[in-house]
C-alpha cells in the first residue's frame, strides 16, 4: 500500500531533533508499504526530493526555528499548510495519509486529501493544539480561539483514526466528543540501540571541558517557553556552594540566549551549554551524566506532554527528575526510575539533585529501572510495530 506521511519537522538520526516519524516510516516499509514523506527544509542545498533509507522524502523550502517570533511561526505554519496541500493534490492517490502535529495546521492537507481525493487519514496528536498555545497566552483573540477549536474538532471528526502520544492527550481528544474506540495511545519511543548505559568516555569529558569528579545533571532538547528553563536556573542558584555538581545543557530554542545571559549574570559557571548535536554525539554526552531533567512550565495542559528526552533518558539508564503533575509523575514513581519535584519550588529541585548526588546506590538502582522500562515497554521496536499493525488493520 502507498502511504503519504505529512510531518513539518521530519528528521533522520543524523540530524538533531525527534526521529519518531523516521522510525515509524521504516517500520511501515518493513510491513510492505511504500512511504512518501512531505516535510520542510531550511537548507536550500538539500535536494527537493530524495530517498533516505527507503523513504521518499519531499522537502519544501520553508525556514523555521524555535527562536522565531509568533508571527513568523504562523507564517511558516501557513506556508507549509498550503504548499503541502498542493503536494497532496498533485501527487498520485495514496491509500492512506498520516498527518502528525504539531502544529494543528498539518491536519489541513490531510483533510484536503480526504475531500478531494477520498484518501483516509490518521491524525497523530503530539500536542493538544490549540489548548497549548491558548493556555500559554500565544493566542488571545476570542474569535481566533473559537475558530481553532472548531478546526481541531473538524480534523478529529474526519480522521479515520487518531493516535495520541500520552494518556492525557487521549483524554483531551476524547473530551471533544470523539469515540474512544477511534483513539489509540502510542507514546514517544525509547531507542535502546541508540542510547544505552556504558563506560564513560573520558576523552569526551576533556573535550567538553568537564570534570571527572562531579555529579552531572543533564537537560537536553528544546529550550522554549514551555520547558521551564528559568525554573532550572533558579534551582541551580541554590547549588552555587556545591563544588561537585555540573550542569549540561544540550539543544536550543527561544530561551537559550536568555538563560545563558542569566547564568553569566549570576556567575553560574558550573552550567555548560553545547547547543544542538546529532543523536550519536548526544547519546555519548548523555551517558556522561548522572541524572536527567524533564521539566515543563506549570500549566495543566503541559502535563500531558510525551517528551522525547524522557524516553531517551530511560534508554540511557539514567534516573529522571520531572516536575509535571501528570502521567510522567505517575510513571517515575510507579516504576521507581526517578522523582517528582514541585514546579513552583525550584529549591525542591536543588534539594532533590543533592539527595541523588549523596545517594549513588539510589541513582544506580533507578537507572537500572529506567533501562528495564525502556526495553520492555517503550522501545521503538515495540511501539513502531504497534503503529504499523494499526495501519495494517485500518487498510484492511
| pLDDT value for 386 | 97
Sign of CA dihedral 39, 42, 48, 49: negative
Q: Is 18 helix (H, G, I), strand (E, B) or coil?
A: coil
* H/E stretch holding 104: none
Phi-psi region at 221: left, alpha or beta (left = phi > 0; alpha = psi -120 to 50): left
Q: What is the pLDDT of residue 259?
A: 96
- Cβ atoms of 164 and 128 within 8 Å: the answer is no
**How far apart (Å, rounded) are the C-alpha atoms in residues 175 and 128?**
11
- Measured between alpha carbons, how far is 62 from 30 in angstroms, rounded to an integer? 30
How many C-beta atoms surround the C-beta of residue 15 within 10 A? Answer: 13
Beta strand pairing call for 161-164 and 121-125: parallel
pLDDT at site 288: 97
Q: Are 50 and 59 in contact (CB under 8 A)?
A: yes
Question: CB burial class (10 A; 0-12, 13-18, 19+) of residue 44?
Answer: exposed
Q: What is the pLDDT of residue 46?
A: 65
- What one-character-per-residue DSSP string does 213-257 give? TSEEEEEES--SGGGTHHHHHHHHHTTTT-TTEEEEEE---TTHH
Q: Quick check: 108 and 126 in contact, CB under 8 A?
A: no
Tell me what pLDDT residue 115 has: 96
The sheet carrying 2-6 orders its strands as: 49-52, 55-60, 34-40, 2-6, 96-100, 121-125, 161-164, 183-185
Are 8 and 101 spatial neighbours (Cβ–Cβ below 8 Å)? no
Distances in whole angstroms, Cα of residue 345 to Cα of each of 112, 298, 363: 46, 11, 22
From 354, 353, 371, select the one nearest 287 (Cα to Cα). Answer: 371
Q: Structure pTM?
A: 0.88
* Of 142, 145, 182, 140, the residue nearest 164 (C-alpha): 182
pLDDT the model gives residue 221: 92
pLDDT at position 35 is: 98
Question: From CA 49, how far away is CA 57, in angstroms rounded?
Answer: 6
pLDDT of residue 75: 87
Q: Which of 204, 177, 24 minimizes the C-alpha distance to 98?
A: 24
Q: Which residues of the chain have pLDDT under 50?
A: none
**Dist. CA 17–CA 162, nearest whole Å:** 23
Which residue reads 534508554 in cell numbers?
315
Amino acid at each position: 500500500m502507498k502511504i503519504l506521511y505529512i510531518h513539518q519537522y521530519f528528521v533522520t538520526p543524523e540530524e538533531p531533533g525527534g526521529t519518531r516519524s523516521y522510525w515509524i516510516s521504516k517500520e511501515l516499509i518493513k510491513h510492505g508499504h511504500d512511504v512518501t514523506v512531505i516535510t520542510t527544509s531550511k537548507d536550500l542545498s538539500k535536494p527537493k526530493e530524495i530517498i533516505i533509507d527507503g523513504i521518499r522524502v519531499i522537502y519544501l523550502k520553508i525556514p523555521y526555528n524555535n527562536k522565531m517570533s509568533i508571527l513568523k511561526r504562523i507564517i511558516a505554519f501557513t506556508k507549509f499548510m498550503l504548499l503541502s496541500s498542493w503536494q497532496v493534490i498533485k501527487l498520485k492517490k495514496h491509500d492512506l495519509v498520516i498527518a502528525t502535529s504539531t502544529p494543528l495546521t498539518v491536519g489541513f492537507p490531510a483533510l484536503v486529501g480526504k475531500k478531494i481525493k477520498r484518501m483516509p487519514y490518521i491524525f497523530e496528536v503530539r500536542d493538544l493544539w490549540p489548548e497549548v498555545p491558548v493556555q500559554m497566552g500565544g493566542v488571545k483573540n476570542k474569535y481566533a480561539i473559537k475558530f481553532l477549536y472548531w478546526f481541531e474538532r473538524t480534523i478529529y471528526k474526519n480522521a479515520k483514526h487518531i493516535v495520541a502520544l500520552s494518556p492525557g492527550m487521549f483524554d483531551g481528544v476524547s473530551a471533544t466528543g470523539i469515540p474512544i474506540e477511534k483513539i489509540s495511545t502510542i507514546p514517544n519511543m525509547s531507542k535502546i540501540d541508540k542510547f544505552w548505559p556504558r563506560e564513560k568516555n573520558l576523552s569526551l569529558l576533556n573535550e567538553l571541558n568537564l570534570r571527572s569528579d562531579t555529579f552531572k545533571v543533564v537537560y537536553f532538547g528544546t529550550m522554549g517557553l514551555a520547558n521551564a528553563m528559568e525554573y532550572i536556573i533558579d534551582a541551580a542558584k541554590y547549588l552555587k556552594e556545591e563544588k561537585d555538581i555540573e550542569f549540561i545543557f544540550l539543544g536550543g530554542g527561544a530561551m537559550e540566549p536568555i538563560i545563558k545571559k542569566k547564568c553569566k549574570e549570576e556567575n553560574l559557571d558550573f552550567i555548560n551549554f553545547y547547543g544542538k548535536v546529532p543523536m550519536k554525539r548526544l547519546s555519548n554526552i548523555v551517558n556522561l551524566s548522572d541524572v536527567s531533567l524533564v521539566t515543563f512550565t506549570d500549566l495543566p495542559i503541559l502535563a500531558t506532554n510525551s517528551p522525547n528526552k524522557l524516553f531517551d533518558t530511560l534508554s540511557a539508564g539514567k534516573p529522571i527528575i520531572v516536575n509535571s503533575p501528570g502521567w510522567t509523575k505517575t510513571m517515575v514513581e510507579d516504576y521507581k526510575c526517578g522523582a517528582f519535584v514541585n514546579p513552583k519550588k525550584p529549591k525542591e529541585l536543588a534539594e532533590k539533585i543533592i539527595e541523588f548526588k549523596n545517594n549513588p546506590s539510589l541513582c544506580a538502582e533507578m537507572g537500572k529501572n529506567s533501562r528495564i522500562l525502556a526495553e520492555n515497554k517503550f522501545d521503538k521496536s515495540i511501539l513502531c510495530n504497534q503503529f504499523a499493525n494499526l495501519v495494517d488493520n485500518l487498510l484492511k
